[in-house]
Structure 1
Amino acid sequence: MRISSARKFTPLAVGVAALALILTACSGGGTGGDGDGEVGVTDDTIRLAASQTLSGPGAASCAPSTDAAKLYFDKVNAEGGIDGRMIDFEVIDDAYDPQRALANVRGFIDSKFAMVGACGSATAAAVYKTLSSAGMPFLFPTNGVAEVVKPAAPGVFQILPLYEDQTAALVHYAFEEFGAGSIFVVVNPLGEYESAIERAREAAEKGGGEFAGSAVAQLGTTDYTPIALQIKEAAPDFVVISTGGSDSAKFVNALVDQNALPAKGVLGTSAAVAGSFLNSYNVAAAEHLYLGSATQLPAAPDNECIELLSEGDFANDPIAHIGCASAMGIVQAMRQTSPLTREGLMKTIESWSGEDVSPGVFAPVSFSAEDHIGLATLYIVQPKGSEFNIIAQCPYSEEDSAAGGCTAAG
């Protein structure tokens, strides 16, 4: 009779093998290294990942954030890493496709310690539940969808204010500074863009102004002339925009070309505050622009990130500043967490109150178990040549901005 070469296990052998597996798991196996068997952490490596918009119409605005984050992680590695562990950072393109982003996340959720960033509200909304339910930290995405962080989802932390809160804060600032008036809102479908329109309308009407209308343009729209002509006919006092960097430049240029700039100003969310805007906007519109920024601009020259980026293509790109400053915050959180576990990292970030994660770029950030949005300050900036300059700062929360409280810079 032919005997199979497959190994036969006796009951004793099975028991020994099972015990060996249990002991291996308890010792940390191949994924741990700090005694806790944590996913993506070994004795010498911390594995991070990002699903990012590296191609398609949003790439020019989004890619600099993870490029800058990688530069900072490389700097940390060159200086010895985090307690001797090197940061391995993998960035995977999702082309701003929610289903592709979800596939990316499912591909690395069991091998990476945390997901870093994500430039895009639609992709953040597509992945946050999967990440949160798996206990994988989702750190500091650029996101405009309220449900991702309101109420606070376990493990999901965002530094930047939501677009809907920004539009309300911008209207309050403008009415406080220039008097009430009519507004027209233009958005790309970024996150819950309907909420951004509605919050702007509510803020205008509560402030004694009027809502003159709105328009939605797909991200990557090449010709904004029809919307500019629509605004010229409506003749609002203010135009409020929540559009990507290059789209914002194309829209502003169309307003200039059609002699359709509003009487009092163009108010834009932080989505417009990007190098892709500075590279192509018509400077004739500069004094009409009042844009919300999550970062101090120009940033402090002695900030680690600003020093790191000063010699490259990202020196004046606020999106790159955000990516690098967010990476600084992530490194700070990991250094404060011992042993380094996913759960421990979440508790560390929730304990932050007025934490300076990147002084001179971000205002101090605060989180709690109930609040996973870190910033409470929105800077009002204007473009000047190839950089932005702060002219005021405002609270962005619904309660604080409704009560006023904006202060002039300097």
Structure 2
Amino acid sequence: MKYNFDEIIDRRNVGAVKWKGYDEIIPMWVADMDFKAPEEIIEAIKSRADEGTFGYTYLNKQYYNAIINWVEKRHGFKIEKNWIYSTPTIVSALYWLIQTFTEVGDKIIIQTPVYHRFKGAIEDNGRMVLENPLKELEGKYYMDFENLESNIDSKVKMIILCNPHNPVGRVWSKEELIRLGEICLKNNILVVSDEIHSDITFKGYKHTPFASLGNEFAENSITCISPTKTFNLAGIQVSNIIIPNENLRKKFDNTMKLNAMGDINIFGIIGLIAAYEKGEQWYREMLYYIEENYNYMREYIEKNMPMIKVTKLEGTYLAWVDFRALRMNSKELKRFLSEEVKVAFNEGQLFGGNGEGFQRINFACPRKILEEALFRLNIGINNCKTWSEDV
């Protein structure tokens, strides 16, 4: 491999949120990687910084072409320049999308367990969350279409789709997305598809952009993408909102103007172009490395801690792990992991009520860090008295 993903980088003194306040504890929670970004991106940013001028910067043809070419090559989805709106983050864009296309008191569907900022964006804007819990069957999650249809009423205006799904790691199939899309068309529900993890899929699985499934679905959807998860660039804040429907674009454009949005961090522009134009090899090696990390983790847990269960992942670098066999409530489990095991994961209930008893584990880190975390977990669980075959 050209790139060294085994390199351990001390992130404690660079303002990294993930490592803030963690000295003895191994943090494996927030969704960024502990890998150095590709040298090609670092060099591009250094070169631009060396120019020494940091005035107002426009989005040029190279920026748009980098996005268009990457999405078409990776996912077979041909987008057009005028469909693209650039925003600092997808979360900020979600707030503006909710404000643009729904009213106070409207209902917005999310499928739990799901990224917790969806719920926050809905409630912060005075809208109502309508949960459509995913169904778990033999360690795999599925959309519950029957429950979804039975709970739709005239107040439901939008669904926020997580594709691939964070935290359960599903890469939704074409058939699943088509069925969801047909339900939304029938009930006049706008699909906002968060596809920030779209590049991170495992062998045998392929991401399907929701809007690529046909013109009707494209016209009734908005797609959110970013290079930040793929290339570990969250701190430079750059994302893109894809809106094929002209009428929807006009409405969103008005919201952007009302919020004085439109300028992107200069290093976000440089980072995105370098990532999409020069990051191919790093990206492929990263995918191989994290899938090997996942396989190692799954096998280690199955061998040494069979009482906890790792959900089979199809994509993302976030494992969804079932700790319910330990017979601890959320408070007890949090204390056990932080104080006795000395690891920090994301608590499952953060992602919805059906996440109780689970933990989300970020395994995008050097193997030695993962090994140490699993070793600590193994010692802690096998010394734990709350679980027993005899209880």
The structure in which a higher percent of residues are helix is 2
Which has the higher Rg, Structure 1 or Structure 2? 1
Q: TM-score when scaled to structure 2?
A: 0.35
Which structure carries more relative contact order (alpha carbon 8 Å, separation 6+)? 2
